[in-house]
Amino acid sequence: MNDLPQHLTETYRWIDGASITLMEFIHGAFRRNNPNAFFLIRKSENLLKNLPEKYLDKFRDKDQLSQKQVKQSKSQLSQIISPEQIFSYDCSYNGLDSSTGRERVKQILFGF
């Protein structure tokens, strides 16, 4: 946590070892239970299986602990947040887009 300024750690009550995704769950659901929050839960299997390896870390947590934390948070989410606030979607890899001068992964979305 040395990378985060102290005021951010205190303001957002950052938890050492937590991923960005986990902190989003904590602030959006577990701490505030915000009735205006929506959770978009990506089913990653189709996207990750065809994604070039060099982009994998942009679409999943890198370490096993973070992956486990996110998985547990997803399973607990429906117990504390109304189902109307949770949207699951699927997507798949659809090549790369360099039209803006910056290489980006194109996705096809399903389930909306």
Mean pLDDT of the chain: 79
pLDDT of residue 3: 62
Is 1 inside a domain boundary? no
Distance CA 87, CA 69 (A): 19
Is 54 inside a domain boundary? yes
Q: Per-residue pLDDT tens for 16-43?
A: 777 777 777 777 776 666 777 788 888 8
DSSP letter at 15?
P
How many domains in the chain? 1
DSSP E strand stretches across 38-83: 39-43
| End-to-end Cα separation, the chain, in angstroms | 37
pLDDT of residue 100: 87
pLDDT of residue 111: 66
- From residue 82, alpha-carbon distances to 3, 34, 72 in Å are 35, 10, 17
Is the model more confident about 9 or about 60?
Answer: 60
The three-state secondary structure class of 2 is coil
Is 51 inside a domain boundary? yes
pTM: 0.64
